[in-house]
Amino acid sequence: MEPDTTTSPSGRGFWEQRYRDDDPSGPLPTPNPAFTALIGELSLVPPPAGTPRALELACGRGGDALWLAAAGWHVTAVDIAEHALSALAERARRAGLGDRLAVERHDLARSAPGAGRWDLVYANYFHTLVDLDRDAVLRRAARSVADGGVLTVVDHGSSAPWSWEQRDDHPSAEDLWHSLALGNGWTRLMCEGRPRIARGPDGRTATVLDTVVAARRADGGGRT
Ligand SMILES: C[S@@+](CC[C@H](N)C(=O)[O-])C[C@H]1O[C@@H](n2cnc3c(N)ncnc32)[C@H](O)[C@@H]1O
């Protein structure tokens, strides 16, 4: 069945509904294995010295933000859905991570966290139901990466059999890389499709593909 996105032009209604019954007293949501593997490979856990700052775009239930905060990052997690964010803030508080995880509600098509540079900006499965200029959102987010900082994007590279979105035209890692239009001053760290065994809500398993891209902004240059 097609999801109903007519409740708001941004699709917010759909996502609020989806997270409405999220119970923050339950177990912590597990982080995305493609993301945790990538962050490990990039040697970003443990985090760099100082007060490393990470920005997550479209955090959903926040398993990745919680994992990163537990590893020592100071994370600001953004989503369009207030229900998701209030549950995540409560989870962070209960896990003793309230001082390392902040939430901000934004429709990223319209706004983003204010000025400041991030040591890590990331988006995992930032797939939406409406016609959003996601490339523009990601390019703007890339401009907020600090010198020497890292941008990562993990997308679905194939549709799981249980997914509401069945399509066979997922962009490749190269497509994703080019859509970011990072230009000079960035080093490509990762750009590939990675197979993974996924488990569906009914317990079925299937091999799916993740599209994984990572880049580092050069130290002291490359402002776009
Ligand atoms: C497929 S979910 C992925 C959530 C999470 N990153 C994960 O990996 O589980 C997509 C997320 O994008 C958020 N989202 C959709 N449109 C958005 C927008 N315009 N601005 C901010 N967040 C948005 C939704 O609320 C949802 O949490």
| Per-residue model confidence (pLDDT) at position 9 | 56
Separation of alpha carbons 90 and 188, rounded Å: 36
Q: Is the CB of 138 under 6 A from ligand 1?
A: no
Separation of alpha carbons 41 and 99, rounded Å: 26
Separation of alpha carbons 215 and 207, rounded Å: 26
| Per-residue model confidence (pLDDT) at position 2 | 39
| Per-residue model confidence (pLDDT) at position 224 | 43
| Per-residue model confidence (pLDDT) at position 8 | 57
**Residue 124 one-letter amino acid:** N
User: 54: number of CA atoms within 13 Å, CB side?
Assistant: 29
User: Which CATH superfamily hosts domain 12-217?
Assistant: Vaccinia Virus protein VP39 (3.40.50.150)
| Per-residue model confidence (pLDDT) at position 196 | 94
Question: Which residue has the least CA distance to atom 16 on ligand 1?
Answer: 128
Q: How many angstroms is it from 157 CA to the middle of ligand 1?
A: 17
Q: Is the CB of 109 under 6 A from ligand 1?
A: yes
The tokens for 114 are 């204010």
Q: Provide the residue ranges of all domains of the chain, joining segments of one domain with +.
A: 12-217
Sign of the C-alpha dihedral, residues 162, 136, 142, 61?
Answer: negative
What pTM did the predictor assign? 0.93
Ranges in the chain, pLDDT < 70: 1-10, 115, 221-224
Q: Per-residue pLDDT tens for 138-149?
A: 999 999 999 999
Q: What is the DSSP string of 86-134?
A: HHHHHHHHHTT-TTTEEEEE--TTT----S--EEEEEEES---SS---H
DSSP state letter for 62: -
Q: How many angstroms is it from 181 CA to the middle of ligand 1?
A: 22
Are the beta carbons of 140 and 112 closer than 8 angstroms?
A: yes
| Per-residue model confidence (pLDDT) at position 221 | 53
Are the beta carbons of 100 and 35 closer than 8 angstroms?
A: no
How many angstroms separate the Cα of 167 from the Cα of each of 27, 162, 163?
A: 32, 12, 10
